[in-house]
Structure 1
Amino acid sequence: MARYIFITGGVVSSLGKGLMAASLAALLQARGYRVRIRKFDPYLNVDPGTMSPYQHGEVYVTDDGAETDLDLGHYERFTGVSARQSDNVTSGRIYQTIIQRERRGDYLGATVQVIPHVTDAIKSFSQVQTEDLDFVLCEIGGTVGDIESLPFIEAIRQLRNDLGRGQSISVHVTLVPYIAAAGELKTKPTQHSVRELAALGVQPDVLVCRCEKPLPESEKRKIAQFCNVRPEAVIAALDAPSIYAVPLQYHEEGLDEEVLRAFGIDPGEKPGLGRWTEITDRLFNPEGEVTVGVVGKYVGLQDAYKSLNEALVHGGIANKVRVNIRWIDAELFEGDEAEVAAALEPCHAILVPGAFGSRGAEGKIASVRFARERRVPYFGICFGMQMACIEGARNLAGIENASSTEFGPTDEPVVGIITEWMSDKGIETREAGGDLGGTMRLGAYPAKLAGNSVVASIYGANEIEERHRHRYEVNTGYREALEKGGLVFSGMSPDDMLPEIVERPDHPWFVGVQFHPELKSKPFDPHPLFASFIAAAVAQSRLV
């Protein structure tokens, strides 16, 4: 039977619960345990799929087509365990499920209430698909005391009783602020947060205290005394130079040992953390550096491109170089070639990521043209591939009005909405004016690669499977014209209907992909496209 670790946060948000959960899971995994991490989000959206990146950061997509919280990306990157739809649930999805059941009459006329119906649904989600696991880590989003999170706190209180003694623990992440004027760390916010959580029926077993100064033993003892935990269970969490140093840092503080002791498990021998030592060594001792220009529309919030940022770092790890990312707002140089050149000339490689809508599109097309004409390595992801096709159509194929139907009516729809496609579930359809949420081509889809292509050599395979999240596709009716302009369709869906990859064989490195390879990259297993892209950037840096 799986043991449960419930992770909550107090005092303020953005304390790094997700990274803590991912790091703890990685440490338990290094000790030989089978783990899975889940995220419970209190907001009323069914999923984050329709939320602005500025509101919530990136939307992370799983193999089975779920649009989920970005923390699931941390979970996968740190453990290598592929996330599933059952690993992320929101209040919106819980209430949607309950209301659908009520409308069908499943409750047989009973009054539907938060307790027991909502809490039972949360407990049910917690326990689904947990066979053959040693530990299930459940992170509760938000901050203790929020109205929205109360049903989740109540659910884990009940679940701890249901599971029985020794089958679950609570880990609470808090803030110990440093007051510069007084020159002191203050423990009172942590005391109040733990008291509020305990008042809701959940007594923490381990406290993880975020602080910007080392936490003295005297302060640990003080926190332990007032919060009813062992002094050894008060874990200091200082800022780390890289998120990939966090597992090692938590291990040094004894987090994994304290969690096992809370379950009554002898920690035994030290875990094998060689992979994390090697990753940090490559990060902190690079043999060079490159600059990658990311031309996007959400560059004001880097969490909007969280997986992309990390995949570029992974490409640097693979090549033993530091990757400096230059975030460039695509709107800033639309229609001005001089500004395009000024922004992109310092870059050793250019990447145009996924996006929705017409804003910034012309700036991205200008970036593609710059990379093609200046022979700078170019990587187009999703929207970036579509812009590469439009740029090629306009400037090399003689289709001056080439555009996308996403931008409005056009006589030359090089990119258009797809209303029907084949998946492992059969034929899937969508209406152009239908709901936005969950109506894209989502999740893992296979693709076949041309045997003599650049991407086939990068992957070392002729068949791949990658994750998608998009509504629009490159129109194969323009394939012949685009290929005459030198843009080769080197990856296609198995039925040859949907373009998956384009490339320019006469360019040092020019690849566009319809999928999101960044979602499958890990520090200990960098995605081959990112490793190859950064290798091309390294080669470019030696030419300038």
Structure 2
Amino acid sequence: MTARPRLALVGDRSDRVPAHGKLHELIPHFGVEVDWLPSATVTEVIADYDGIWVVPGSPYADQSNVLHAIRTARTRDIPYLGTCGGFQHALIEYTRNVLGIHDAEDVQYDADAGTPLIVPLSCSLVGETAPLHFSPGSRLASVYPGCESTVETYHCKYGLNPAYVDAILASSLHISGWDSEKAPRAIELPDHPFFIGTLFQPELSSSPADVHPLIEAFLAAVTRRSQQSL
């Protein structure tokens, strides 16, 4: 019997996080083996998974372990999806370890951070829906064939500090989704098998009978990696 692909959900489960309850409903329909890993339990074995999804719920109990999971996905070509907190922490990991800005931080962890990379949004997106515009030719755009934009569901108060947008734009980490005011809402690594972070939460607009196309695309990448490793 062929083993099913293995997916790690990284995050500290809480009834206060709407995405966590929604994921509980969706997981039986993913068609992969899923382990939910609290941030404190992430170890080197994270590299053994076929996919890593850092789920909402920032600030995490162990930020360093979450960043380790993201770096593992990035450097070992493991399919990665980060939603809300997973988007924010993908930015932190990349800025620290690739751009060399070692004090890049989310102000939820350190209000006096030398490089406040993740800061409160000018307008809270808790419980909001908003337009999302794609960068042409991006992997994210390919998830929505024939569309230049869509409407997505958010539940977030923090995002990328506008002061650091140009640094990201000059890097190999592409901003692939924008809101109507040109604020970044999604990022990706084009040369990676699958590495996407979104401030929006596709799990919130999914149902067991209608899983969001971004999640489906991610699960397909997880399955491909599993098959390639056989």
Matches within 5 A, 1:404-419: 404-408=106-110, 409-418=112-121
| Residues in 1 aligned to 2:187 and 2:144: alpha-carbon distance in whole angstroms | 14
| Residues in 2 aligned to 1:303 and 1:413: alpha-carbon distance in whole angstroms | 26
Offset at residue 358 of structure 1 (A): 4.8
Offset at residue 369 of structure 1 (A): 0.2
Please point out which of 503, 509, 524 is paired with 2:209: 524
CA contact (8 A) 2:17 2:56 kept: no
Equivalent residue for 2:36? 327
What one-letter code is carried by the residue in structure 2 that aligns with 1:514?
L
**Alignment partner of 1:386 is 2:84:** no
Please point out which of 391, 398, 405 is paired with 2:100: 398
Matches within 5 A, 1:160-171: none
- CA RMSD in angstroms comes to 2.3
| Residues in 2 aligned to 1:462 and 1:537: alpha-carbon distance in whole angstroms | 26
Q: Classify the secondary structure of the residue corresponding to 1:345.
A: helix
Q: Classify the secondary structure of the residue corresponding to 1:485.
A: coil
Please point out which of 57, 70, 73 is paired with 1:355: 57
Evaluate the alpha carbon distance shift between residue 309 and residue 511 of structure 1 in structure 2; reply closer, same or farther with a 3 A threshold: farther
| Residues in 2 aligned to 1:536 and 1:518: alpha-carbon distance in whole angstroms | 17
Offset at residue 329 of structure 1 (A): 1.6
Please point out which of 133, 140, 143 is paired with 1:448: 133
Offset at residue 453 of structure 1 (A): 0.6
| Residues in 2 aligned to 1:402 and 1:479: alpha-carbon distance in whole angstroms | 13
| Residues in 2 aligned to 1:415 and 1:302: alpha-carbon distance in whole angstroms | 19
CA contact (8 A) 2:19 2:204 kept: no
Matches within 5 A, 1:1-400: 289-298=4-13, 305-314=20-29, 316=30, 322-333=31-42, 339=43, 341-342=44-45, 344-400=46-102
Evaluate the alpha carbon distance shift between residue 299 and residue 470 of structure 1 in structure 2; reply closer, same or farther with a 3 A threshold: closer
| Residues in 1 aligned to 2:91 and 2:170: alpha-carbon distance in whole angstroms | 12
Please point out which of 135, 142, 146 is paired with 1:457: 142
Q: Classify the secondary structure of the residue corresponding to 1:447.
A: strand
Offset at residue 441 of structure 1 (A): 3.6
Whose Rg is larger? Answer: 1
What one-letter code is carried by the residue in structure 2 that aligns with 1:492?
W
> Which contiguous aligned blocks of 4+ residues in structure 1 show a shift greater than 6 angstroms?
299-304
Greater fraction of residues in helix? 1
What TM-score, normalized to structure 1?
Answer: 0.39
Equivalent residue for 2:187? 502
| Residues in 1 aligned to 2:67 and 2:103: alpha-carbon distance in whole angstroms | 13
Offset at residue 466 of structure 1 (A): 1.0
What TM-score, normalized to structure 2?
Answer: 0.90
CA contact (8 A) 1:488 1:505 kept: yes
| Residues in 2 aligned to 1:516 and 1:326: alpha-carbon distance in whole angstroms | 19
Offset at residue 471 of structure 1 (A): 1.1
The percentage of aligned residue pairs carrying the same residue is 28
| Residues in 1 aligned to 2:84 and 2:27: alpha-carbon distance in whole angstroms | 16
Equivalent residue for 1:471? 157
CA contact (8 A) 1:352 1:381 kept: yes
Equivalent residue for 1:67? none
Evaluate the alpha carbon distance shift between residue 525 and residue 440 of structure 1 in structure 2; reply closer, same or farther with a 3 A threshold: closer
Q: Kindly indicate whether structure 1 or structure 2 has the higher relative contact order, using CA contacts under 8 Å at least 6 residues apart.
A: 2
Evaluate the alpha carbon distance shift between residue 360 and residue 300 of structure 1 in structure 2; reply closer, same or farther with a 3 A threshold: farther
CA contact (8 A) 2:54 2:86 kept: yes
Equivalent residue for 2:224? 539
| Residues in 2 aligned to 1:543 and 1:299: alpha-carbon distance in whole angstroms | 34
CA contact (8 A) 1:402 1:413 kept: yes
What one-letter code is carried by the residue in structure 2 that aligns with 1:366?
H
Structure 1: any 5+ residue segments left out of the alignment?
Answer: 1-286, 317-321, 334-338, 422-438
Deviations 1:125-178 (A, max 9, x none): xxxxxxxxxxxxxxxxxxxxxxxxxxxxxxxxxxxxxxxxxxxxxxxxxxxxxx
What one-letter code is carried by the residue in structure 1 that aligns with 2:116?
P
| Residues in 2 aligned to 1:501 and 1:375: alpha-carbon distance in whole angstroms | 19
Offset at residue 313 of structure 1 (A): 4.0
Evaluate the alpha carbon distance shift between residue 459 and residue 440 of structure 1 in structure 2; reply closer, same or farther with a 3 A threshold: closer
Evaluate the alpha carbon distance shift between residue 440 and residue 448 of structure 1 in structure 2; reply closer, same or farther with a 3 A threshold: closer
Aligned length: 226
Evaluate the alpha carbon distance shift between residue 483 and residue 407 of structure 1 in structure 2; reply closer, same or farther with a 3 A threshold: same
CA contact (8 A) 1:377 1:537 kept: yes
Deviations 1:170-190 (A, max 9, x none): xxxxxxxxxxxxxxxxxxxxx
Please point out which of 179, 193, 198 is paired with 1:513: 198
CA contact (8 A) 2:81 2:195 kept: yes
